[in-house]
Copies of this chain bind each other. A is one copy, B any other.
Amino acid sequence: MLNKLRLLTPGPTPLPERVRLALARDMTHHRKKAFMDIMMRVQERLHVLFGTSEVVLPLSCSGTGAMTAAAHSLFAPGQHVLVVDGGKFGQRWRFIAEQRGLQVTSLEVPWGKAVEPQAVADALKAEPDIAGVLIQYSETSTGVLHPVKEVARVTRETKALLVVDGISAVGLVPCPMDEWGIDCLLTGSQKGLMLPPGLALLALSSRSWKAAEANDTGCFYFNLPAEKAKLAKGQTLFTSAVNLIVGLDESLDMLLENGLDAVYAKQWALTMLNRAGVAAMGLTLFAPEHFAWGITSVQLPAGVDGTEVVRIAMEKYGVCLAGGQDHLKGKIVRIGHMGWVDWADALAGLHALNRSLIEVGGYCASREYMEVAMSAYHMALKGKPGQALPTIHS
């Protein structure tokens, strides 16, 4: 009774009441008209969200399932791909591609840094048989935003397909697929879309569709051309994740009723709030330059055990933060600010982080960080999303 639970992890995110009530609706049949009408309505708005005139396929799986579907659909065993490997999810691209039997060249990027578009260009020049570039837009394990727009400028001049894991990006940061020249964009339901996990969305460019149609998926469950044919009838190939799609109908309403620009402006302002607050605490931002709009990763002072910080924030303050993964375990804390999260939730996150840090490390650099954070928030809301504030990068 003392604390409400506040989910400030980089997915799954809290759910709006409107979505929760939609999830609780009684079942409708996935081959009948009432559901097909919902699918068509959802599809229209997914075109807007993805910035594409191509179909956006709903798949009954997690985001990793959609990554697997992409690797199996676009490439055949033996083909060569370049993986941008700058975190746990970059590694996952590599594992998925290897399991598919692809020849993988890893472009390793230090965790916390973004890839240099020129490095992608050089790799493609050096190995012209590369058929695809697999990348994250937002690398959830580090809080880095890779420069997908600039990488797409490189890939669209080559035969390599640009395959973007947009799981922690779609609905959080602009990612206009057609305009930028992305060949495959995919996401999961439990991030910017404010839904429970279990539904993935995936779109292909026209040149990706050519590849998918010529290819043998090798895995019956992931058959994108057959899904596309079914979607034309407002259906999915196998039984649809009905209540998640009914929930998506509602969450797309929420995202689009004020326009995506307002959504991105909010995400940018929450990002500025968190970064200013963390900096005012005297902490180091783990992704200093190219950072995500839905997650802020914080380097902890030496000797402070991040696992303890996360535990105390949860137990004493009801705030659920995420720790680091793999070699960053205990060394960073990741604050999620995506989905159904607002400024007051973010403030609670900063305060819980600060108090937990004091308890674990006796660490206290500022008593003003919350006001500083809120000033950055208000300033960011007045400015242009993506335009750094002078106080943030000073």
Contacts and interface: CB of A to CB of B under 8 A. Distances in A.
A11 B199 CA distance: 19
A267 interface: no
Contacts of A101: 218
A125 interface: no
A29 B10 CA distance: 10
Report the contact-size class of chain A (Cβ under 8 Å from the partner): 35 or more
Contacts of A9: 29
Nearest to A32: B320
Interface in A320-345: 320
A142 to B, nearest CB: 17
Given A64-B221, A220-B68, A238-B62, A198 B244 contact: yes
Given A217-B99, A221-B68, A320 B198 contact: no
A188 B320 CA distance: 31
A238 B196 contact: no
Contacts of A393: none
A20 B32 CA distance: 21
Number of copies: 2
Given A196-B241, A239-B12, A314-B32, A23 B26 contact: no
A3 to B, nearest CB: 13
Given A65-B61, A219-B68, A220-B100, A239 B190 contact: yes
Contacts of A238: 62-65
A206 to B, nearest CB: 25
A30 B71 CA distance: 26
A197 B240 contact: yes
A79 interface: no
Interface of A: 5, 7, 9, 11-15, 20-21, 23-30, 32, 60-65, 67-69, 71-72, 95-96, 99-101, 188, 190, 196-199, 216-222, 238-244, 314, 320
Given A12-B242, A21-B24, A99-B217, 4 more contacts: A20-B25, A100-B218, A197-B241, A218-B219
